[in-house]
Amino acid sequence: EVVLEVESLDKIYGGGGILKKLPQTHAAKNVSFTLTRGRTLGIVGESGSGKSTVARCIMRLIDPTSGRIMLDGHNIAGLSRNALRPHRQKLQVVFQDPMRSLNPRWTVAESLIEGPLNYGTRRADALAEAARMLTVVGLPENALKRYPHQFSGGQRQRIAIARAVMMRPDVLVADEAVSALDVSVQAQVLTLLEQLQDELGIAIVFITHDLRVAAQICDEVIVMQHGAVVEKGAAAEVLVNP
Protein backbone atom coordinates (compact mmCIF):
# COMPACT_ATOMS: atom_id res chain seq x y z
CA GLU A 1 0.00 0.00 0.00
CA VAL A 2 1.51 3.29 -1.16
CA VAL A 3 1.27 6.02 1.50
CA LEU A 4 3.49 8.69 -0.02
CA GLU A 5 4.33 9.29 -3.63
CA VAL A 6 6.51 12.16 -4.75
CA GLU A 7 6.33 12.82 -8.48
CA SER A 8 8.67 15.08 -10.46
CA LEU A 9 9.28 17.44 -7.57
CA ASP A 10 11.14 20.63 -8.44
CA LYS A 11 12.19 23.45 -6.17
CA ILE A 12 13.86 26.63 -7.34
CA TYR A 13 14.79 29.14 -4.66
CA GLY A 14 14.89 32.85 -5.43
CA GLY A 15 13.91 34.77 -8.51
CA GLY A 16 10.58 36.06 -7.24
CA GLY A 17 9.15 38.99 -5.30
CA ILE A 18 11.60 41.11 -3.35
CA LEU A 19 14.30 38.48 -3.84
CA LYS A 20 14.15 38.92 -7.64
CA LYS A 21 17.74 40.11 -7.85
CA LEU A 22 19.22 37.09 -6.00
CA PRO A 23 20.58 34.20 -8.08
CA GLN A 24 18.29 31.20 -8.36
CA THR A 25 19.16 27.82 -6.89
CA HIS A 26 17.62 24.74 -8.48
CA ALA A 27 17.71 22.75 -5.23
CA ALA A 28 15.45 19.82 -6.23
CA LYS A 29 15.32 18.54 -9.80
CA ASN A 30 12.67 16.09 -10.94
CA VAL A 31 12.72 14.11 -7.67
CA SER A 32 10.39 11.09 -7.61
CA PHE A 33 9.98 8.24 -5.16
CA THR A 34 7.34 5.96 -3.64
CA LEU A 35 6.96 4.92 -0.03
CA THR A 36 4.84 1.97 1.10
CA ARG A 37 3.34 1.32 4.53
CA GLY A 38 5.79 0.11 7.14
CA ARG A 39 8.91 0.77 5.04
CA THR A 40 11.82 3.16 5.52
CA LEU A 41 13.07 5.19 2.59
CA GLY A 42 16.36 6.97 3.07
CA ILE A 43 17.24 10.24 1.38
CA VAL A 44 21.01 10.49 1.49
CA GLY A 45 23.58 12.83 0.01
CA GLU A 46 26.22 15.37 0.92
CA SER A 47 25.48 18.70 2.52
CA GLY A 48 23.85 20.97 -0.05
CA SER A 49 22.59 18.11 -2.25
CA GLY A 50 18.93 19.01 -1.67
CA LYS A 51 17.80 16.58 1.05
CA SER A 52 16.33 19.24 3.34
CA THR A 53 14.67 20.95 0.42
CA VAL A 54 12.81 17.75 -0.46
CA ALA A 55 12.00 17.21 3.24
CA ARG A 56 10.68 20.76 3.65
CA CYS A 57 8.49 20.32 0.56
CA ILE A 58 7.02 17.05 1.85
CA MET A 59 6.36 18.64 5.26
CA ARG A 60 4.92 21.62 3.39
CA LEU A 61 7.15 24.05 5.24
CA ILE A 62 7.91 25.44 1.77
CA ASP A 63 6.05 25.34 -1.54
CA PRO A 64 7.48 23.15 -4.28
CA THR A 65 7.94 24.96 -7.60
CA SER A 66 6.26 22.06 -9.40
CA GLY A 67 5.46 18.39 -9.00
CA ARG A 68 3.03 16.31 -6.97
CA ILE A 69 3.18 15.10 -3.37
CA MET A 70 0.55 12.40 -2.99
CA LEU A 71 -0.22 11.62 0.66
CA ASP A 72 -2.70 8.76 0.95
CA GLY A 73 -3.92 9.54 -2.55
CA HIS A 74 -4.32 13.31 -2.09
CA ASN A 75 -2.02 15.81 -3.76
CA ILE A 76 -0.88 18.09 -0.93
CA ALA A 77 1.64 20.01 -3.06
CA GLY A 78 -0.57 22.99 -3.82
CA LEU A 79 -2.79 23.04 -0.74
CA SER A 80 -3.20 26.15 1.41
CA ARG A 81 -2.59 26.02 5.15
CA ASN A 82 -6.33 25.49 5.78
CA ALA A 83 -6.81 22.86 3.11
CA LEU A 84 -3.76 21.07 4.45
CA ARG A 85 -5.16 20.75 7.97
CA PRO A 86 -7.08 17.48 7.54
CA HIS A 87 -3.97 15.87 6.03
CA ARG A 88 -1.47 17.28 8.52
CA GLN A 89 -2.07 14.58 11.13
CA LYS A 90 -1.07 11.82 8.71
CA LEU A 91 2.44 13.18 8.28
CA GLN A 92 4.54 13.96 11.33
CA VAL A 93 8.11 15.14 11.67
CA VAL A 94 11.09 14.59 13.94
CA PHE A 95 13.94 17.08 13.56
CA GLN A 96 17.61 16.91 14.51
CA ASP A 97 16.87 19.22 17.44
CA PRO A 98 13.98 17.78 19.51
CA MET A 99 13.31 21.26 20.95
CA ARG A 100 11.98 22.23 17.51
CA SER A 101 8.92 20.13 18.39
CA LEU A 102 8.83 20.63 22.17
CA ASN A 103 7.83 23.74 24.07
CA PRO A 104 10.36 24.18 26.92
CA ARG A 105 7.63 25.62 29.16
CA TRP A 106 5.30 22.66 28.70
CA THR A 107 5.43 19.42 30.64
CA VAL A 108 5.91 16.24 28.63
CA ALA A 109 2.21 15.48 29.14
CA GLU A 110 1.19 18.84 27.65
CA SER A 111 3.47 18.30 24.64
CA LEU A 112 2.11 14.82 24.04
CA ILE A 113 -1.60 15.60 24.29
CA GLU A 114 -1.63 18.88 22.34
CA GLY A 115 -2.06 17.32 18.91
CA PRO A 116 -4.76 14.80 19.85
CA LEU A 117 -6.70 17.53 21.74
CA ASN A 118 -6.62 19.71 18.62
CA TYR A 119 -8.11 16.81 16.68
CA GLY A 120 -10.92 16.33 19.16
CA THR A 121 -9.66 13.60 21.49
CA ARG A 122 -10.98 13.88 25.04
CA ARG A 123 -8.40 15.04 27.59
CA ALA A 124 -8.64 11.92 29.79
CA ASP A 125 -8.19 9.65 26.76
CA ALA A 126 -5.24 11.70 25.48
CA LEU A 127 -3.55 11.57 28.89
CA ALA A 128 -4.02 7.82 29.14
CA GLU A 129 -2.55 7.42 25.66
CA ALA A 130 0.37 9.71 26.59
CA ALA A 131 1.20 7.52 29.59
CA ARG A 132 1.12 4.42 27.41
CA MET A 133 3.21 6.09 24.71
CA LEU A 134 5.97 6.95 27.20
CA THR A 135 6.47 3.31 28.09
CA VAL A 136 6.50 2.49 24.36
CA VAL A 137 9.37 4.94 23.78
CA GLY A 138 11.18 3.78 26.91
CA LEU A 139 10.60 6.58 29.41
CA PRO A 140 9.14 6.20 32.90
CA GLU A 141 5.52 7.24 33.43
CA ASN A 142 6.57 9.89 35.95
CA ALA A 143 8.22 11.68 33.01
CA LEU A 144 4.77 13.10 32.18
CA LYS A 145 5.01 15.79 34.85
CA ARG A 146 8.54 16.83 34.01
CA TYR A 147 9.95 19.41 31.59
CA PRO A 148 12.23 18.84 28.57
CA HIS A 149 15.31 20.34 30.29
CA GLN A 150 15.14 17.58 32.90
CA PHE A 151 16.04 14.96 30.28
CA SER A 152 19.12 13.98 28.29
CA GLY A 153 19.36 14.67 24.54
CA GLY A 154 18.47 11.08 23.69
CA GLN A 155 15.47 11.15 26.05
CA ARG A 156 14.30 14.46 24.57
CA GLN A 157 14.40 12.89 21.11
CA ARG A 158 12.29 10.00 22.45
CA ILE A 159 9.77 12.57 23.74
CA ALA A 160 9.70 14.29 20.33
CA ILE A 161 9.12 10.91 18.68
CA ALA A 162 6.34 10.13 21.17
CA ARG A 163 4.70 13.49 20.39
CA ALA A 164 4.79 12.72 16.66
CA VAL A 165 3.51 9.15 17.09
CA MET A 166 0.63 10.32 19.34
CA MET A 167 -0.95 11.58 16.10
CA ARG A 168 -0.94 8.06 14.63
CA PRO A 169 0.71 9.25 11.42
CA ASP A 170 1.00 7.13 8.29
CA VAL A 171 4.31 8.82 7.48
CA LEU A 172 7.06 9.98 9.82
CA VAL A 173 9.71 12.27 8.35
CA ALA A 174 12.95 11.96 10.32
CA ASP A 175 15.17 14.88 9.30
CA GLU A 176 18.69 14.11 10.62
CA ALA A 177 16.81 12.84 13.69
CA VAL A 178 19.76 10.93 15.19
CA SER A 179 22.60 13.03 13.78
CA ALA A 180 23.20 15.00 16.98
CA LEU A 181 23.24 11.96 19.27
CA ASP A 182 26.16 9.88 20.54
CA VAL A 183 26.67 6.69 18.58
CA SER A 184 25.32 4.42 21.36
CA VAL A 185 22.23 6.63 21.84
CA GLN A 186 21.81 6.76 18.05
CA ALA A 187 21.55 2.97 17.96
CA GLN A 188 18.89 3.00 20.68
CA VAL A 189 16.76 5.61 18.91
CA LEU A 190 17.10 3.74 15.59
CA THR A 191 15.91 0.58 17.32
CA LEU A 192 12.96 2.49 18.74
CA LEU A 193 11.99 3.76 15.26
CA GLU A 194 12.14 0.23 13.87
CA GLN A 195 10.02 -1.05 16.75
CA LEU A 196 7.38 1.66 16.21
CA GLN A 197 7.35 0.81 12.56
CA ASP A 198 6.77 -2.90 13.22
CA GLU A 199 4.05 -2.24 15.77
CA LEU A 200 2.19 0.59 14.06
CA GLY A 201 3.04 0.17 10.39
CA ILE A 202 4.37 3.70 10.10
CA ALA A 203 6.33 4.51 6.94
CA ILE A 204 9.48 6.55 7.51
CA VAL A 205 11.28 9.05 5.29
CA PHE A 206 14.74 9.05 6.82
CA ILE A 207 16.93 11.98 5.82
CA THR A 208 20.59 11.69 6.70
CA HIS A 209 24.07 12.58 5.54
CA ASP A 210 25.35 9.53 7.46
CA LEU A 211 25.52 6.48 5.17
CA ARG A 212 26.31 4.17 8.07
CA VAL A 213 23.09 5.18 9.83
CA ALA A 214 21.15 4.90 6.55
CA ALA A 215 22.47 1.37 6.04
CA GLN A 216 21.23 0.43 9.51
CA ILE A 217 17.64 1.55 9.17
CA CYS A 218 16.64 2.03 5.52
CA ASP A 219 14.94 -0.51 3.27
CA GLU A 220 15.40 1.62 0.17
CA VAL A 221 17.44 4.73 -0.47
CA ILE A 222 17.65 7.54 -2.96
CA VAL A 223 20.98 9.29 -3.33
CA MET A 224 20.90 13.01 -4.13
CA GLN A 225 23.57 15.10 -5.78
CA HIS A 226 23.19 18.74 -6.84
CA GLY A 227 19.42 18.48 -6.41
CA ALA A 228 18.94 15.38 -8.54
CA VAL A 229 18.40 11.72 -7.67
CA VAL A 230 21.53 10.00 -8.98
CA GLU A 231 20.91 6.54 -7.55
CA LYS A 232 17.95 4.66 -6.15
CA GLY A 233 17.36 1.13 -4.94
CA ALA A 234 17.51 -1.36 -2.09
CA ALA A 235 19.69 -0.03 0.75
CA ALA A 236 21.76 -3.22 0.79
CA GLU A 237 22.65 -2.70 -2.87
CA VAL A 238 23.11 1.07 -2.98
CA LEU A 239 25.01 1.38 0.30
CA VAL A 240 27.76 -1.21 -0.06
CA ASN A 241 30.52 -0.68 2.51
CA PRO A 242 29.07 2.57 3.89
Taking CB under 6 A as the criterion, which residues in 5-34 touch ligand ADP?
A: 13-14, 25, 27
When asked if residue 88 is in the footprint of ligand ADP (CB under 6 A), the reply is: no
Q: Least distance to ligand ADP from the beta carbon of 52, Å? A: 3
Q: Among 40, 52, 155, 216, which residue sits at the site for ligand ADP (rule: CB under 6 A)?
A: 52
Comparing CB distances to ligand ADP, the nearer of 12 and 117 is 12
Q: Least distance to ligand ADP from the beta carbon of 209, Å? A: 7
The stretch near ligand ADP (CB under 6 A) out of 2-10, 33-41, 48-56, 123-131 is: 48-56
Comparing CB distances to ligand ADP, the nearer of 47 and 184 is 47
When asked if residue 49 is in the footprint of ligand ADP (CB under 6 A), the reply is: yes
Which residues does residue 47 pair with via DSSP β-bridges, in sequence order? Answer: none
- As a three-state string, the secondary structure of 114-178 is HHHHHCCCCHHHHHHHHHHHHHHCCCCHHHHHCCHHHCCHHHHHHHHHHHHHCCCCCEEEEECCC
**CA 8 – CA 28 distance, rounded (Å):** 9
When asked if residue 214 is in the footprint of ligand ADP (CB under 6 A), the reply is: no
Q: Among 50, 67, 98, 148, which residue sits at the site for ligand ADP (rule: CB under 6 A)?
A: 50
When asked if residue 116 is in the footprint of ligand ADP (CB under 6 A), the reply is: no
Q: Least distance to ligand ADP from the beta carbon of 112, Å? A: 25
Q: What are phi and psi of 189, to 5 degrees?
A: -70, -35
Where b means 16+ CB within 10 Å and e means fewer, 57-85 reads bbbbeeebbebebbbeeeebbebeeeeee
Chain residues in the site for ligand ADP (CB under 6 A): 13-14, 25, 27, 45, 47-53
